[in-house]
Amino acid sequence: MSMWWFITTLAIIAFISNSPVYAYDNNPLQDICVAVNDSHASVFVNGKICKDPKLATADDFFFSGLNVSGNPETLFGFAATRVDVTTMPGLNTLGISIVRADLEPQGLVPFHTHLLATALITVLEGTVYAGFLVPDPANFFKSRLFSKILNPGDVFLIPQGLIRFVYNVEHKKATFLASFNSQNPEAIMIPSLIFASEPPIMDDILAKGFQLNKSEIAELRKKFS
């Protein structure tokens, strides 16, 4: 009897250890999730909680306006219209979203990343140059650039978490759709993230990190703040 119990216990332990449910945690759905010992606190998943299904309506699964360009951002010359969990609540927990991006002539979606999502870029109008950077495993100070010139109907894949950009190479506007496998892909714009942080990063660190002098750092702060 004791031997049977021992073998059964080993079998259960082996199952739990190899089960994908118990072997590891899922990828995080948000950047930070600070633990709180509060039984009355709400639980947020990627920034949202679930509505009572009885209160859901068709409007929760509807968005209008993807055919219209948003207001362009002046520094880089691009506009974004987002269909994510914020603008379409029915996307909550479904893990998909889409963004329409409009680029002014020589407009740029600057270096950024989506830590939570892979992206598929589909060009609707104009010609853009899109690319992403893959770290060099042999030298972490270097990277490999994957890039393509994209025309209407072309589709380009950008893997999750990698730094990417999209640039309008023509003298007319360009439009593309970016589809994500996340309800809230949360773009992290790298230049602004670094030079417009609050509180600011020490000048000495930025000067050393980018091999610039402090006056150049001050100028970059003005541009991105």
Whether residues 123 and 190 share a domain: the answer is: no
Would you call the peptide bond into 28 cis, given omega within 30 degrees of 0 as the criterion?
no
Phi then psi dihedrals of residue 47, to 5 deg: 90, 0
Q: What is the pLDDT of residue 34?
A: 64
Q: What is the pLDDT of residue 16?
A: 45
Whether residues 125 and 224 share a domain: the answer is: no
Amino acid (1-letter code) at residue 168: N
Residue showing tokens 């927990």: 93
Give yes or no for residue 69 having a pLDDT over 90: yes
Q: Does 93 reside within a domain?
A: yes
Q: Does 42 reside within a domain?
A: no
Residue 16: helix, strand or coil by DSSP?
helix
CA distance linking residue 95 with residue 180, whole number of Å: 8
Whether residues 159 and 121 share a domain: the answer is: yes
Q: What is the pLDDT of residue 93?
A: 83
CA distance linking residue 69 with residue 111, whole number of Å: 21
Q: What is the pLDDT of residue 83?
A: 96
Q: Does 13 reside within a domain?
A: no
Q: What is the pLDDT of residue 51?
A: 82
Whether residues 102 and 203 share a domain: the answer is: no
DSSP states of 84-102 as a string?
Answer: STTT-GGGTTT--EEEEEE
Beta bridge partners of 139: 136
Please state the domain count of the chain.
2
Q: What is the mean pLDDT of residues 141-153?
A: 97
Whether residues 71 and 135 share a domain: the answer is: yes
Contact predicate 30/47, CB 8 Å: yes
- Residue 187: partners with Cβ closer than 8 Å, 6 or more residues away: 112, 113, 114
How many degrees, rounded to 5, is the angle at CA 46 between CA 80 and CA 115? 65
Q: What is the pLDDT of residue 27?
A: 64
Give yes or no for residue 77 having a pLDDT over 50: yes
Whether residues 109 and 136 share a domain: the answer is: yes
Q: What is the pLDDT of residue 2?
A: 54
- Is 112 flagged in the annotation as binding? yes
Q: Which residue range(s) make up the domain with 204?
A: 186-225
Give yes or no for residue 147 having a pLDDT over 90: yes
For CA atoms 173, 165, 132, 139, give the dihedral sign. positive
Share of the chain above pLDDT 70, in %: 80
Whether residues 68 and 133 share a domain: the answer is: yes
Give the CATH number, domain containing residue 75: 2.60.120.10
Give yes or no for residue 33 having a pLDDT over 70: no
Residue showing tokens 């479904």: 94
Q: What is the pLDDT of residue 23?
A: 46
CA distance linking residue 168 with residue 79, whole number of Å: 12
Of the two residues 44 and 87, the one the predictor is more confident about is 87
- Is 40 flagged in the annotation as binding? no
pLDDT digits (tens, 9 = 90+) for 161-209: 999 999 999 999 999 999 999 988 889 999 999 999 999 999 999 999 9
Count Cβ atoms within 10 A of the Cβ of residue 69 and give its class: 0-12 exposed, 13-18 middle, 19 or more buried.
middle
Mean pLDDT of the chain: 86
Q: What is the mean pLDDT of residues 203-221?
A: 95
Q: Does 144 reside within a domain?
A: yes
Whether residues 109 and 177 share a domain: the answer is: yes
Q: What is the pLDDT of residue 169?
A: 97
Give yes or no for residue 68 having a pLDDT over 50: yes
Q: What is the pLDDT of residue 116?
A: 84
Residue showing tokens 């830590």: 115
Residue 107 DSSP one-character state: -
Of the two residues 20 and 220, the one the predictor is more confident about is 220
| Among the ranges given (81-85, 93-97, 124-128, 158-162), the one the predictor scored with the smallest mean pLDDT | 93-97
Q: Does 85 reside within a domain?
A: yes
CA distance linking residue 137 with residue 81, whole number of Å: 36
Whether residues 66 and 124 share a domain: the answer is: yes
